[in-house]
Amino acid sequence: MRTLLSVLLIGVPVTLILTLVGLSHGMLEDAQNRTRGVGADIIVRPPGTSLLTLSGAPIPEALVNYLGKLPHVTIAVGVVNFPIQTALVAIGVDVRRFDAMSGGFTYLQGGPFNGPDQVIIDQYYAAQQHVHAGGTISLLNRDWKVVGVIAGGKLARIVFPIQVLQNLTSNAGKVSQVYLKLDNPQNTSSVIHDLKARMPDYQIYSMQEFTSLFNVSNIQGLRQFITVIMGVGVIIGFAVVCLSMYMAVLQRTREIGILKSLGGSKIFILQIILLEALLLGVGGSILGILLSFGAYWLIQTLVPASIQMAIVPIWWGIASGITLLGAALGALYPGISAARHDPIEALAYE
């Protein structure tokens, strides 16, 4: 009973760490995938925006046309971003131009826009909302007809005609960012060089560079947050094991006395306590890993579009290592106090 409770308590921070890490990896990989799916070579973003939070539409469409006419640029597509939730962004785009750039959406159900008040969504968002092509969903305080369901991994989960989002956000004639496709990808760096000279305030990246920014270490606060959770994991592991083993040592005072009367040394007693604590730690780690699969399954079943979680096995080792460290430290005090027990008093203990 004590053992089960301890293992459970030790397992929780392991799950927490793994879920957190899994979420950050999953969300980033997903965003990376969708950005790659655009098929552009260069991205142009307005001055002073941060990586993941991009809303508003400060770039005039005239600039898009201008960019489209530059040497080596075959097509320029401006898009309007509109965050629906933290990690769920609707994008407004001219679908015909986007098709020319990306090779087009793959429609699993329905097809492209053919009337007003329509939206295209990807299969994950469709699953999360339990909706099919021809159905209706409510977004931005209005009902929309789902005209097409597309395969995920391209641009966005929710796609509107560009004017719809421009009007909704009172940004007529403006876009949030611009994708450029070149005649030959090998020209990318020279075009970027040229663009930077023309528009020094803008953020201009090759797509490769841009997607590589989708990295845990580039998200402000995330690293620190994970570190804090890891610290919490060590402390919980430490406290749980310390308490649990302290109780175990009390409960087994007599047994410790018996082992000492048989000639068990202090080191021997300490080893037994440490071993048991490490077993608790291993049990907790395994349970924590299993529970993280549970979290993964829950997220995939309930909110596949809003949240993505990856299973990151490398972190199994890190999280378990941290837990075992906490467990070993936690066992030290009870272990030493057990090793120091006076054998006669321990044998007389009821």
> Contact, 80 vs 92, CB < 8 A?
yes
Counting other chains too, the contacts that 51-55 makes at CB distance below 8 Å and 24 or more residues apart are: 51/213, 51/214, 51/218, 51/219, 52/219, 53/83, 54/81, 54/176, 54/177, 55/81, 55/82, 55/83, 55/176
Question: Binding pattern to another protein, positions 206-245, x when CB under 8 A?
Answer: ----------------------------------------
The reply on whether position 253 binds another protein by CB under 8 A is no
The reply on whether position 255 binds another protein by CB under 8 A is yes
State the nearest-atom distance from the C-beta of 278 to another protein, in Å. 19
Site size for another protein, by CB under 8 A?
17
The reply on whether position 347 binds another protein by CB under 8 A is yes
Cα–Cα distance measured from residue 150 to residue 157, given in angstroms and rounded to the nearest whole number: 8
Using CB under 8 A, which of the segments 50-58, 201-209, 216-224, 338-346 binds another protein? 338-346
State the nearest-atom distance from the C-beta of 285 to another protein, in Å. 25
The reply on whether position 254 binds another protein by CB under 8 A is yes
State the nearest-atom distance from the C-beta of 247 to another protein, in Å. 16
> Contact, 281 vs 324, CB < 8 A?
yes
Q: Which is nearer to another protein, 2 or 223 (CB)?
A: 2
State the nearest-atom distance from the C-beta of 272 to another protein, in Å. 11
Using CB under 8 A, which of the segments 39-47, 67-75, 124-132, 250-258 binds another protein? 250-258
Supply 319's token pair.
Answer: 């999280």
β-bridge mates for residue 161, sequence order:
93
Q: Which is nearer to another protein, 194 or 255 (CB)?
A: 255
- Provide the b/e sequence for 8-36 (b: ≥16 CB within 10 Å): ebbbbbbbbbbbbbbbbbbbbebbbebbb
Report the amino acid identity of residue 236. Answer: I
Q: What is the DSSP letter of 64?
A: H
Q: Which is nearer to another protein, 29 or 255 (CB)?
A: 255
Q: Which is nearer to another protein, 77 or 256 (CB)?
A: 256
Q: Please report, as residue ranges, which positions from 258 to 287 form the binding site for another protein (by CB under 8 A).
A: 258-266, 268
Q: How far is CA 136 from CA 15, 105, 142, in A?
A: 37, 20, 10
Q: Which residues contact 104 (CB under 8 A, 6 or more apart)?
A: none
The reply on whether position 343 binds another protein by CB under 8 A is yes
Supply 39's token pair.
Answer: 């098929």
Q: Please report, as residue ranges, which positions from 52 to 91 form the binding site for another protein (by CB under 8 A).
A: none
Report the amino acid identity of residue 36. Answer: R
Q: Which residues contact 78 (CB under 8 A, 6 or more apart)?
A: 59, 61, 64, 93, 94, 162, 175, 176, 177, 178, 179
State the nearest-atom distance from the C-beta of 33 to another protein, in Å. 54
Q: Which is nearer to another protein, 262 or 314 (CB)?
A: 262
Question: Binding pattern to another protein, positions 141-170, x when CB under 8 A?
Answer: ------------------------------
Q: Which is nearer to another protein, 52 or 258 (CB)?
A: 258
Q: How far is CA 347 from CA 263, 300, 340, in A?
A: 14, 56, 13
State the nearest-atom distance from the C-beta of 286 to another protein, in Å. 23
Chain residues that interact with another protein, rule: CB under 8 A: 254-255, 257-266, 268, 342-344, 347
